[in-house]
Amino acid sequence: MSFFRKKIYACAGFYTISLGTGRKEFHPKKPRPGIEHYIKEAGLGTIEQIENPENIGEGVIGNFVAERFCRQGNLGGFFPMVHPTFQYKPCTRVEGACDSGGLALVASVKTILADLADVTLCMGVEVQNSVKAIYGADYLAAAGWFSGERKNGHAYFFPDQFSQRAGACFDKFGYDNMRPGMAQWYVNAIDNARKNPKAQEYHNKNADLFATGMTKANPKAFCEYINVFDCSKVSDGAAALIFTSEEGLEKIGVEKKDAVEVVAYAQVQDNLTTPPPDLTKLSTCEVAARRVYERAGIEAKDLSVLEVHDCFTVAGLLAIEAAGFAGYGEGAAFVKDGNTKRDGSIPTNTSGGLIGYGHPTGATGVRQAIDVVHQLSGKAGDYQIEIDPSRPYGMLSSMGGNDKTVVAMILKKTE
């Protein structure tokens, strides 16, 4: 039995360049586009791929902390600026830290399942280069329990959270096992980003990525167990995607071959006020993956492509384990052996992921979905992989906070 009461499709994905350090056009002292620019670029990029945009019934936008980075709230109010069809239609902003985009995906699908619209426009956006990194780190600490954790936390709060995870993994599984796996994750991220013209690391010309990834941590300058190359970058960008019912596809003039079926999702929440039960596991991501596989009626081996939330290299390794592709403590070796490369057994983060493409936090979950849609529909360009007909599925896992808010979604290539 299908998890959904009717068929849901995703199509017409579009995302902007992830702007920040690494991009040739980025200069920290020169004026840059504001949040409304990214919203309009992504929204129009999607709308221009369909017919009859007046049939879009609702807009949903994911964003984390525009109020702090941009001093801007009420983001739903930008939909009528994107296109006049949204004038006086329901438009909503959702927030769940770095999983804000994932929650936007879920909210968009729920609207169609509730028969409140046949077509929804789902967006995600974040502009973070508006403040110095040290202030941004404080803003991003709101993804954790601010009143309970921030006061005694590291200046770079979230890098330290995942640095502590890396340290716990070093202790349990060995530095010489984990560190090369983390470095190889960095190598894969940059290699994939070099094939994606919109990626923040697209211009990266480093000839020895592995050596860079193996850079020893310097706790006097940054964190105790990770280096800056283990981290996703500060990014500005937006992403947009259309969700429709079967009738909605006809209304917007999109053929099924140009769409991807949404098979199931799992939205999972852990207690924000409690520490992770085990620093060497992404327990909430694991629950979400197990639940979405069950709802879709498939197993991990049925996936041809995977998108995980690699806010840090160690998170990528743990996410591979949580998704069921490597046993406990075996994620580093699995990655080091090449299994997550574009030609590996489970191509992962094929457009660069958070480390390679960038991490405009509110946009990330939507961007992940777009890349799965593009791969399954053969629209991924230079980073297109071969989709095995016997494994027509792709999955994304989008995480907010320190493994606290998670959305996993499985999509299927249309026949």
The per-residue pLDDT for range 279-325, each reduced to its tens digit, is 999 999 999 999 999 999 999 999 999 999 999 999 999 999 999 99
The amino acid present at 189, given as its one-letter code, is: A
Joined tokens for residue 204: 């990266």
Q: Say what the pTM is.
A: 0.98
pLDDT at 134: 87
For residue 197, the tally of other CB atoms under 10 A from its CB is 11
Q: Which residue among 259, 274, 305 closes a domain?
A: 259
Longest CA–CA span in the chain (Å) reads 59
DSSP sequence for 56-87: --EEEEE-S-HHHHTS---GGGGHHHH-GGGT
CA distances from 86 to 30, 39, 109 (A): 33, 14, 18
| 13 φ/ψ angles, rounded to the nearest 5 degrees | -75, 145
pLDDT at 250: 97
Q: Are 315 and 375 members of one domain? A: yes
- Mutual angle of helices 361-376 and 100-113, in 10-degree steps: 60
Q: Are 206 and 126 members of one domain? A: no
pLDDT at 2: 86
Which structural domain, as residue segments, surrounds residue 115? 8-132+234-259
DSSP sequence for 217-282: P-TTTS-SS--GGGBPPP-EEEEEEEEEEHHHHHHTT--GGGEEEEEEEEEEE--TTS--S-TT--
Q: Which ranges of the chain have pLDDT less than 70?
A: 1
- β-sheet with 91-94: strand ranges across: 91-94, 58-62, 119-127, 236-245, 8-15, 259-269, 405-413, 393-400, 303-307
Q: Are 171 and 281 members of one domain? A: yes
The amino acid present at 125, given as its one-letter code, is: V
pLDDT at 402: 97
Q: Are 254 and 121 members of one domain? A: yes
Q: Are 49 and 184 members of one domain? A: no
143 within domain boundaries: no
pLDDT tens by residue, 137-195: 999 999 999 999 999 999 999 999 999 999 999 999 999 999 999 999 999 999 999 99
137 within domain boundaries: no
Q: Are 74 and 113 members of one domain? A: yes
Joined tokens for residue 299: 């197993």
140 within domain boundaries: no
Q: Are 205 and 248 members of one domain? A: no
Q: Which residue among 224, 259, 294 closes a domain?
A: 259
178 within domain boundaries: yes
Q: Are 253 and 336 members of one domain? A: no
Q: Are 283 and 408 members of one domain? A: yes
Q: Are 347 and 253 members of one domain? A: no
Q: Are 204 and 88 members of one domain? A: no
194 within domain boundaries: yes
Average pLDDT along the chain: 97
Cα 42 → chain centroid:
16
Joined tokens for residue 150: 């921030």
pLDDT at 415: 81
Q: Are 178 and 273 members of one domain? A: yes
124 within domain boundaries: yes
Residue 200: give its domain's CATH number.
3.40.47.10
Number of domains in the chain: 2
1 within domain boundaries: no
348 within domain boundaries: yes
pLDDT at 159: 96
| Cα–Cα distance, 188 to 385 (Å, whole number) | 14
